[in-house]
Amino acid sequence: MKIQGKAFVLGDDIDTDQIIPAQHLVYSLENPEEKKFYGRYALSGVPDVQSGLPAGNIPFTREDEFESDFTVIIAGTNFGCGSSREHAPFALQVAGARAVVAETYARIFYRNAVDGGFVVPYETDVKLNDKIKTGDDVVIDRDTGYLFNVTTGDEFQLKGLGDVAEIIDAGGIFEYARLKKMV
């Protein structure tokens, strides 16, 4: 499996209120006309470079659009800290993100991302948010375990997904349970 697209680079300690601010939790998760607003407001709570927004204050989703041009989020440590809202990985998925690559995650964000089948949370031992720039074309190759920066030609080893790979492949914990005849 490969995930390919443009990278959106963030800093450390991006919390769930930055991923989807609380004032935007009013939309239905089921109604297609409403849930698209989660994509519109994904990462709209990251206010400036000091809080982790890419250099040049590049928005994740352009004004009045519902999907982002970026499919891979590159972050530092402690991505998804803060409250336990499952809306955070959901908002990233609705915006078109398919994967997040971070040094570490808040446990609840990681579990929500996997359990809901929203985005694939890859981990790395390398501080990639210092080595990749917003807009770089990247490819994550799950079979080899590498992230390739097509723009620069660099490649980086990612940690394996381990036991959560089966849940991700199934599309989330409920689909996994159905496949395994647990429900």
Q: How far apart are CA 46 and CA 38, in angstroms?
A: 15
What is the average per-residue pLDDT within 37-43? Answer: 91
At residue 53 the predicted structure's pLDDT band, cuts being 50, 70 and 90, is low
The CA angle 81-113-132, to the nearest 5 degrees, is 70
* Angle, alpha carbons 63-73-50 (nearest 5°): 75
Contacts of 133 (CB under 8 A, 6+ apart): 7, 9, 54, 55, 151
Q: Is the pLDDT at 49 greater than 50, yes or no? A: no
Tokens standing for 52? 């982790």
Domains of the chain: 2-179 (3.20.19.10)
User: What is the pLDDT averaged over residues 5-15?
Assistant: 93
For residue 58, the model assigns a pLDDT of 79
The DSSP secondary-structure symbol of 86 reads T
Per residue in 91-148, pLDDT (tens digit) is: 999 999 999 999 999 999 999 999 999 999 999 999 999 999 999 999 999 999 999 9
For residue 34, the number of C-alpha atoms closer than 13 Å in the C-beta half-sphere is 8
Residue 156 pLDDT more than 70? yes
Q: How confident is the model at residue 104, as a pLDDT?
A: 97
At residue 48, the pLDDT reads 53
Could you tell me the pTM of the whole model?
0.91
Q: DSSP letter at 69?
A: S
